[in-house]
Structures are given as structure tokens and as C-alpha cells.
Amino acid sequence: MKIWQKNIDVNQFVETFTVGKDRELDLQMAKFDVLGSLAHTQMLETINLLTAEELKTVQIELKNIYAEIEAGNFTIEDSVEDVHSQVEWLLTQRIGEAGKKIHSGRSRNDQVLVDLKLFFRACIEDMVNQTSTLFNQLIELSNTHKDKLLPGYTHLQIAMPSSFGLWFGAYAESLADDMELMLAAWKITNKNPLGSAAGYGSSFPLNRTLTTELLGFESLNYNVIYAQMGRGKTERILAQAMSAVAATLAKMAMDVCLFINQNFGFISFPAELTTGSSIMPHKKNPDVFELIRSRCNKIQALPNEIAMMITNLPSGYHRDLQLLKENLFPAITSLNECLEIATFMFQNITIKDDILKDKKYDYLFSVEVVNDLALQGVPFREAYKIVGEQIENGTFAPSGEIHHTHEGSIGNLCNAQISAAMEEVLAQFGFEKVNKAIEELVR
């Protein structure tokens, strides 16, 4: 029998369908469910719904359950519907009547809301840390290889000289911008929905400010209806931030797949980091980056998937929302894996020297020659025409020299400024405050 169930057994076929993958996915939220209960029960004692002795008993056993989860010794039994029921059942079995009181002033609706918010906060911290590590790797590579030139392309046609300093730095700066979106997701996530109950509040004199402080939230979702409306909205905003990071990784992976191709030959990786062919002994395939590209393209579809699942739902809770976990949770894992392996691969990249000495890249320097003529006083449009005619009649002679000095160009990468921008956004997340609150809650 379920904790919400009365005297009628639910049809087994219906129960199996409605529970879905909740037991499997809820394991990822288990410790956060306990954290929510630790804060909630402290609050209940302040409004006399738990005695001091009951609170002490409840807190000790909740912390024991938390330790079991951390040690990997926690399961959700087949006879139990979800993580909330499992934790409450364990507590009641171990300490008796006091365990039955912890649900006072709560609904499973706001319980899952706070679990998700706490879970998402931890996930965002992981994704930000992984992104920061990749960012630092890209900046290091940009500085190391700043003088190594490569072709720049427009329309996939040879266009102008670029450099590996520019290329690595471009993706670093892209990640810095992506963290601005992740910061927005963090701010939406870091608001406390606990106490909104089923979406209409409670007649108990709950102290929502106290649970906000105990759980390290920055503020509350104040309106109880809006707190419930945040289910789905929070997921969509987080998915949009993840999609931005994924878009950067997918584009970068595509560049790698081009640059490692023999017709380009700009970069290489050790043979053990590539894969072979069953019939072609010469193959060194960039499977890692192809999978990063595909995984991240899949993640870019996530915001739309979530939007379609919640579109036109009226206010209040609906069981549709349960399915959001099935889309979002695996995507979070996948993005972290992509960030981690991209960093690993770039730690082992080799850059080819003297790429632009190949004659087929001579026309890359046409703009340099046009600009040289313009600096000598020739009107730009006339200089453009002169060089165009030289190219057509085969007399064009590239200088091979690069004189780019403005901000963000080959000779002035501005990596220090890009790093400062990244540090500025990272400093706004406030992970230390959150982690300190959680440490105090479980100690």
C-alpha cells in the first residue's frame, strides 16, 4: 500500500504504467530528498508539530539514511512508489510514530519540487566545474599555439589567415558566454518551493524563510501557485543553458572532425585515442568527437522537447511533469561526459607546424596585400581591383606576413580579458554558500 493510498488497491497495470521509471530516476534524487526532510523537520519543531525529542530522533535517523545513500546502500523497493515514500517508510520502520509526522505541511508535489531544485543545483555545479576545466584547457592551448597559423574559412572556402590561438580562444570565449546562461538557470533554480504543498499552501503556520536558509537557497518561490508552476519551467531554462554549452561543443567537434581529415591535416591525436576500420588498416577515426557532436546535437533538442511536454498545461500539478526527468536526467549525465572527454582529448592534441606554407593557401593573404596597398595611399576599392586582377592573371604574389594588432585578432588574442570575463561569471554562482549550508544540515 502507498502512503497516499486509502482502502482501494490500484490496478497493477495502471500502477506499473504510472510509476514508469520513477524508481530508477529517483535514486539520483535520494540524498536531496533527505536534505529537504532535514530542513522541513527542523522547521516543524519550531511550530510545535514535532517535539524536541522527536526532532532529535528524526534527525539522527535521517542522517543515517543520508549516509547509506552516500555509501550506495540505498534502494527503492518494488512495493514502494518513489523516493519520498521509501525515505518516509524507512524512517517510520526505524523510529516509529515520529516518522509519520514528517509529512505535515508538505505534499509530494512540493517535496519533489525541492528535491529537483537541490538536485539541479548540484548538477549545475558539476557542469560549471567541467566547463571551467575545459575553458582553462582551451586558453592554455590558445596561448601555447598562438603563433601557429591555419586557414580561416568562409562558406568552407579558403578566406583569410587564422591561428590556433584564435581558434582555441574562440571556443573558450563561447563557453564564457554559455556560463552567463547557466548562471541564469542557477538563479531560477536557487529559489525554495518547499511549503507550497500541493500548490495552494498550507493551514499550518509554516516558516518558509527558515527552510530557505537551512537549504542554502538564495530566496523563495514566494507565490505557492507559481512555485508549482516552476515545475517544467525550471527544467526548460536549465535545458536551454545546457543547450548553449552543447552547441559550442558540437561546433568545436565538427571543426576537429574537419581538421583531422587527411585533406586538411591540421591536427592529430595519438592512435590509441582514435578508432580503426574493420577493413581499412590506415584509418584513424575521430569517433570521440563524432559522438560529442551527435550527443550535443541531441541535447540541443532538449529545450524543445521539454517545451512540448509542458505546453498548454494549466496551473497546478499534472502527472505529465513526471516524464521530464526521463529527458533531462540522462542529458545532464551526457553533457558532463562530453565536457570531460573533450578536455581529455585536447590534453593530447598535436598541432601541425607551417600549415600555410602550402601553395594552395596563397590566396589567404590577398586581403593582406589589399590592405598594404591601402596603407600606401591607394583607395581600398582600387587596391581590391588591382589584387583581383593579379589573382585572375596569375601574377599574385602573397606577402606571407600577418600584421593584426587590434583587440581579439591574431596578434592580440585578449585571452586575459576572456579569462577575466569567465572568472567574473563563475564568481556569481555562490556554490560555497550552498555547500556550507548543506554541510551544516547533515553534520
Instruction: Name the percent of the chain in helix, strand, coil, to the closest 5.
Output: 65, 5, 30
Q: Is 219 helix (H, G, I), strand (E, B) or coil?
A: strand
Contacts of 432 (CB under 8 A, 6+ apart): none
What pLDDT does residue 10 have?
A: 67
What pLDDT does residue 1 have?
A: 43
User: DSSP labels for 92-145?
Assistant: HHHHGGGGGGTTTT--HHHHHHHHHHHHHHHHHHHHHHHHHHHHHHHHHHHHHT
Domains located in the chain, CATH noted: 12-101 (1.10.275.10), 108-201+222-357+408-438 (1.20.200.10), 359-393 (no CATH)
Grid cell digits, residue 211: 527552510
Give the H/E segment covering residue 256. Answer: helix 224-260
Number of neighbouring beta carbons within 10 Å of residue 284: 16
DSSP 78: T
Grid cell digits, residue 87: 525515505
What pLDDT does residue 418 have?
A: 98
Residue 76's closest CA among 112, 41, 35, 27?
27
- Calculate Rg over the CA atoms of the chain: 28
What pLDDT does residue 380 have?
A: 92
Q: Which residues of the chain have pLDDT under 70?
A: 1-11, 15-16, 18-20, 276-279, 281
Task: Give CA–CA dist 236/328, Å, rounded.
Answer: 9
Residue 400's closest CA among 432, 434, 442, 355?
355
What pLDDT does residue 141 have?
A: 98
DSSP 77: -
What pLDDT does residue 277 have?
A: 61
Burial label for 442, CB within 10 Å (0-12, 13-18, 19+), is middle
Contact (Cβ atoms closer than 8 angstroms) between residue 110 and residue 227: yes
Per-residue pLDDT tens digits for 3-40: 545 556 666 777 667 666 777 788 999 999 999 999 99
End-to-end CA distance of the chain: 33
Residue 90's closest CA among 28, 37, 140?
37
Q: Is 412 helix (H, G, I), strand (E, B) or coil?
A: strand
CA distances from 60 to 70, 106, 343 (A): 15, 21, 41
Give the H/E segment covering residue 244. Answer: helix 224-260
Grid cell digits, residue 72: 550506495
